């Protein structure tokens, strides 16, 4: 199992710079690279990575995407004087050349390919390449939008050839449309290209018709280009999250890539003068974390845009921290995607319905970009926690004082989200003596036998008739829980003969320790013993048996019909459980795996892995002792392993999808991330 995170960086790529005045290009500065690296050092992240050297991309590698003519043109700029360089630059849209541009662009390509090699060879699990100039706008015969060679497109072709890959996912979260990548793979079903971008009804650069949601690819590649056009500025964390949950992730898991490449531009982040969006740095942790569950964790992030230096560098740090396996910071702001974003999301889902099984039961027709209501206005109405500090309007354009305003916001914001938490021990466990050999040696096994505090928690429950053994396993479970709450470990697991009772005791203990919001996910058929008063617990119950219970905001049952042939559970995971969980924003998650659980180890593993995005990754997994076969898989996830493959994709049963749809409609006023269409606005 590949481990570790590669970092590819070479300061020489800072030599490419603008030599004359040009208000369009003057934001693409050398400090973009150095400030990222400085910030990584500040957080001690560089030393935790496996350093991989850059190299020059070769002619033949560059010609995987670009024409020989174009390559010769770029080569020719190496010996040019300023005046000539200006002339060549003027021949393209939003590009500048410097005498070192050719050298830097070759290093950017080579650095990206070195990263692909590190990940594909198993030297590391994942990694990031910090490169300049960026790549995603450049085309076969043209430089464009600060981009000279298309680093990520070249990497995809290179990986296909060298490692014989059948399916690669490219996620372009830069705020601009990577039209260069789209053109390259337009008719290619082996590359799934996803891009969201500021569009504003085609007013925003590069103002292309083919950036809209109805550009889905051509010929055999139809359905393998996904464009989410953003028609308003000021979008933020919840809009991006909704786009991932309701568009990208269902399709990406259906696609089942063997490698994920990220065109990682951070001009989609807060304070950026180009994007004018509002996503905070930790949003990129969550986006990264989602993608780490694909392709057995094989993920390469390659820098594209990002022009607010502080925002850019903090976001790069959050991305790399997540790749390293650190717990995820909480996502700030109210989880309520705005109308314009929902409209875009609905349009994309409708446009792609013919091509994706996960959208089979979608009953939407594309809207015509109707919304005129500004999401900034909507956000101003909400009591967003960022609002007192900074509103999207305040970030505004990137003039000096606005840049400083965002700096100040980020200074406070990054302090308030935990960036240094990394306990020496990640996972604690309470299991039978006889099972300890099933756990990796790094797992800590606390004993809770003599703790008075635990005994008082337990004595409130009916445990008098309990055997000594069962009682001591309860106490050990509380010892593990205690370590999670006190942040001595990140997560833990406990085996129990009475998981339902254990979970009730665990919840009581959480309350005693003033844990504000607890998310409990039950898998299997169990009696719920948890006290539900006062909204401190949100209970999601995934069961095979039809339950009598009436669903309420804080107590929701999913009656999931088992069909081992066709059952993949993605519609429940992305369509319901995660949107509700992210809307709730718990402080601790408890997953209870009981009897008759009908999901199987892969789906439970994926669910637990994804739930690590909540509650700063603090999870207690409670496993019924009869379900011990999945204990090792769950331990693997909790200790930082990745999830196994799912095999051939089959769509969920119609009745299951129908059930999810009904639940979504029922609860989308309460849990707003469920909203992915414009019609059910508040």
One character per residue 404-443, x = contact with ligand X5A (rule: CB under 6 A) = ----------------------------------------
Closest CA to 611 of 568, 570, 578: 578
Contact map string, positions 294 to 323, toward ligand X5A, x by CB under 6 A? ----------xx------------------
**CB 221: neighbour CB atoms within 10 A?**
19
Asked whether the CA dihedral 290, 291, 292, 293 is positive or negative, the reply is positive
Query: Which among 37-45, 169-177, 354-362, 486-494 is the span making contact with Zn ion, rule CB under 5 A?
Result: 169-177
Q: Which of 137, 246, 286, 289 is catalytic?
A: 137
DSSP 207-226: --GGGSTT----GGGTTSEE
Give min distance, CB of 201 to ligand X5A, in A.
Answer: 17
In whole angstroms, give the CA distance from residue 128 to residue 125.
Answer: 11
Regarding 265 and contact with ligand X5A (CB under 6 A), the answer is: yes
CA separation for the pair 282, 479 (Å, rounded): 30
Q: Which is nearer to ligand X5A, 303 or 526 (CB)?
A: 303
Cα(285)–Cα(614) distance, integer angstroms: 11
Nearest to 224 by CA among 254, 262, 186: 186
Alpha-carbon distance 175 to 510, whole Å? 41
145 near ligand X5A, rule: CB under 6 A:
yes
Nearer to ligand X5A, 176 or 289 (CB): 176
Phi, psi of 594 (to 5 degrees): -110, -165
Residue 176 contacts Zn ion per CB under 5 A: yes
Which of 643, 602, 649 lies closest to 192 in space, CA to CA?
A: 649
Decide if residue 269 touches Zn ion (CB under 5 A).
no
Burial classification of residue 646, based on how many CB atoms lie within 10 Å of its CB (0-12 exposed, 13-18 middle, 19 or more buried): middle
Binding to ligand X5A by residue 205, rule CB under 6 A? Answer: yes
Nearer to ligand X5A, 406 or 476 (CB): 406
Among ligand X5A, Zn ion, none, residue 369 binds (CB under 5-8 Å by kind): none
User: Does the protein bind ligand X5A through residue 24 (CB under 6 A)?
Assistant: yes
Task: Verify binding: residue 176, ligand X5A, rule CB under 6 A.
Answer: yes
Piece of the chain touching Zn ion by CB under 5 A; list 231-239, 263-271, 474-482, 648-656: 263-271
Contact 287, 173 (CB under 8 A): yes
State the Cα–Cα distance between residues 328 and 286, nearest whole angstrom: 7
How many CA atoms are closer than 13 Å to the CA of 592, on its beta-carbon side? 32
Tokens coding 37 = 């690296």
In angstroms, the CA 500 to CA 25 distance is 61
Binding-site string for Zn ion from residue 305 to residue 344, where x marks contact by CB under 5 A and - marks none = x---------------------------------------
User: Nearest approach, Cβ of 24 to Zn ion (angstroms)?
Assistant: 13
Q: Which of 256, 275, 243 is nearest to 352 (CA)?
A: 243
Q: Which is nearer to ligand X5A, 16 or 176 (CB)?
A: 176
Pattern of binders to ligand X5A over 147-166, x per CB under 6 A?
Answer: x-------------------
Q: How far is the CB of 453 from ligand X5A (least distance, A)?
A: 54
Going by the DSSP 8-state scheme, the letter that residue 573 receives in this structure is I
| Residue 188 is a binding residue for ligand X5A (CB under 6 A) | no
Q: How far is the CB of 267 from Zn ion (least distance, A)?
A: 4
Angle at 393 between CA 391 and CA 398, to 5 degrees: 110
Nearer to ligand X5A, 254 or 274 (CB): 274
Q: Toward Zn ion, which CB reaches closer, 267 or 326?
A: 267
180 touching ligand X5A, by CB under 6 A: no
Q: Which is nearer to Zn ion, 56 or 314 (CB)?
A: 314
CB of 176 or CB of 342, closer to ligand X5A: 176
97-105, 144-152, 520-528, 563-571 -> range binding ligand X5A (CB under 6 A): 144-152
Of 422, 420, 300, 424, nearest to 42 by C-alpha is 420
Residue 170's φ and ψ, nearest 5 degrees, are -110, 120
Applying CB under 6 A, the span of 10-18, 140-148, 325-333, 558-566 interacting with ligand X5A comes to 140-148
Does the protein bind Zn ion through residue 174 (CB under 5 A)?
Answer: yes
Considering beta carbons, is residue 306 or 499 the nearer one to ligand X5A?
306
Question: Which residues, including other chains, have CB under 8 Å from residue 164's CB and lie 6 or more apart?
Answer: none
Cα(363)–Cα(185) distance, rounded to whole angstroms?
29
Range in contact with ligand X5A (rule: CB under 6 A) among 5-13, 76-84, 141-149, 362-370:
141-149
Is residue 539 within 8 A of residue 522, CB to CB? The reply is yes
Q: Of the candidates 157, 147, 144, which has an alpha carbon nearest to the alpha carbon of residue 184?
A: 157
| Pair of tokens at residue 404 | 């400083």
User: Of these, 221, 236, 265, 640, which contacts Zn ion (CB under 5 A)?
Assistant: 265
Could you tell me the smallest distance in angstroms from the CB atom of residue 174 to Zn ion? 4
137 as an active site residue: the answer is yes
Is 94 a binding residue for ligand X5A by CB under 6 A? The answer is yes
> What DSSP line would sit under 596-618, residue for residue?
T--SHHHHHHHHHHHHTTSGGG-
| Least CB distance to Zn ion at residue 152 (A) | 13
The answer to whether 221 contacts Zn ion (rule: CB under 5 A) is: no
From Zn ion, ligand X5A, none, which one binds at residue 146 (CB under 5 to 8 Å depending on kind)?
A: ligand X5A
Task: Name the residue nearer to ligand X5A (CB basis): 301 or 592.
Answer: 301
Look at residue 470 and give its three-state secondary structure: helix
> φ and ψ at 126, to 5 degrees?
-150, -170
Contact between 269 and ligand X5A (CB under 6 A)?
no
134 binds ligand X5A (CB under 6 A): yes
**Span of 139-147, 313-321, 364-372, 585-593 interacting with ligand X5A by CB under 6 A:** 139-147
CB 171 within 8 Å of CB 284:
no
CB 279 within 8 A of CB 269: yes
Cα 551 from chain centroid (whole Å): 29
Q: Which residues bind ligand X5A (CB under 6 A)?
A: 24, 94, 134, 137, 145-147, 174, 176, 205, 265, 267, 274, 304-305
Q: Which residues bind Zn ion (CB under 5 A)?
A: 174, 176, 265, 267, 305
Which residues are catalytically annotated? 137
């Amino acid at each position: 199992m590949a481990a570790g995170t590669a970092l590819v960086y070479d300061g020489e790529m800072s030599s490419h710079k603008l030599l004359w005045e040009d208000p369009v290009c003057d934001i693409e500065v050398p400090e973009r690279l150095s400030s990222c690296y400085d910030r990584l050092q500040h957080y001690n992240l560089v030393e935790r990575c496996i350093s991989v050297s850059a190299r020059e991309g070769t002619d033949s590698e560059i010609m995987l995407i670009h024409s020989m003519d174009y390559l010769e043109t770029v080569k020719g700029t190496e010996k040019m004087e300023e005046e000539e360089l200006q002339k060549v630059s003027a021949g393209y849209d939003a590009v500048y050349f410097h005498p070192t541009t050719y050298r830097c662009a070759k290093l950017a390509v080579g650095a990206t390919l070195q990263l692909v090699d590190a990940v594909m060879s198993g030297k590391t699990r994942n990694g990031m390449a910090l490169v300049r100039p960026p790549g995603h706008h450049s085309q076969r015969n043209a430089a464009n939008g600060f981009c000279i060679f298309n680093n990520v497109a070249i990497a995809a072709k290179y990986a296909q050839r060298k490692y014989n890959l059948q399916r690669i996912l490219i996620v372009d979260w830069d705020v601009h449309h990577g039209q260069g990548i789209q053109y390259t793979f337009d008719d290619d079903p082996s590359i799934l290209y996803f891009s969201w971008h500021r569009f504003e009804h085609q007013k925003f650069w590069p103002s292309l018709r083919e950036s809209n949601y109805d550009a889905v690819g051509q010929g055999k590649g139809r359905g393998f280009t996904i464009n989410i056009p953003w028609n308003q500025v000021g979008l933020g964390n919840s809009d991006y999250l909704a786009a991932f949950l309701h568009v990208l992730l269902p399709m990406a898991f259906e696609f089942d890539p063997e490698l994920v490449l990220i065109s990682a531009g951070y001009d989609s982040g807060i304070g950026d003068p180009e994007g004018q969006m509002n996503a905070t740095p930790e949003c990129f942790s969550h986006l990264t974390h989602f993608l780490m569950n694909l392709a057995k964790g094989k993920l390469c992030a390659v820098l594209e845009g990002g022009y607010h230096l502080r925002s850019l560098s903090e976001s790069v740090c959050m991305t790399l921290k997540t790749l390293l396996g650190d717990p995820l910071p909480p996502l700030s702001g109210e989880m309520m995607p705005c109308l314009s974003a929902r409209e875009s999301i609905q349009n994309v889902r409708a446009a792609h319905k013919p091509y994706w099984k996960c959208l089979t039961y979608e009953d939407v027709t594309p809207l015509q970009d109707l919304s005129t209501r500004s999401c900034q206005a909507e956000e101003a109405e909400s009591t967003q926690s960022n609002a007192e500090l900074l509103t999207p309007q305040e970030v505004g354009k990137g003039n000096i004082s606005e840049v400083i305003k965002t700096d100040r916001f980020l200074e406070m914001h990054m302090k308030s989200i935990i960036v240094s938490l990394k306990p020496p021990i990640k996972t604690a466990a309470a299991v039978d003596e006889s099972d300890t050999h099933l756990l990796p040696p790094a797992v800590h096994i606390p004993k809770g036998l003599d703790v008075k505090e635990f005994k008082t928690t337990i004595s409130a429950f009916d445990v008098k008739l309990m055997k000594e053994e069962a009682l001591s396993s309860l106490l050990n479970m509380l010892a593990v829980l205690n370590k999670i709450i006190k942040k001595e470990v990140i997560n833990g697991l406990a085996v129990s003969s009475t998981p339902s009772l254990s979970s009730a005791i665990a919840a009581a203990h959480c309350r005693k320790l003033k844990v504000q919001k607890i998310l409990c996910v039950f898998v299997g058929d169990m009696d719920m013993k948890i006290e539900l008063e006062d909204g401190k617990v949100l209970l999601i119950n995934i069961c095979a048996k039809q339950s009598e219970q009436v669903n309420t905001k804080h107590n929701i049952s999913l009656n999931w019909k088992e069909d081992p042939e066709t059952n993949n559970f993605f519609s429940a995971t992305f369509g319901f459980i995660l949107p509700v969980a992210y809307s709730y924003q718990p402080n601790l998650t408890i997953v209870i795996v009981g009897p008759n659980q009908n999901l199987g180890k892969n789906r439970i593993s994926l669910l637990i892995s994804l739930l690590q995005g909540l509650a700063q990754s603090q999870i207690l997994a409670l496993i019924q002792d009869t379900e011990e076969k999945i204990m090792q898989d769950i331990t693997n996830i909790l200790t930082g392993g990745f999830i196994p493959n799912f095999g051939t994709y089959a769509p969920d049963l119609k009745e299951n999808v129908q059930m999810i749809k009904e639940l979504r409609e029922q609860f989308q006023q309460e849990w707003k991330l469920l909203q992915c269409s414009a019609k059910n606005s508040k």
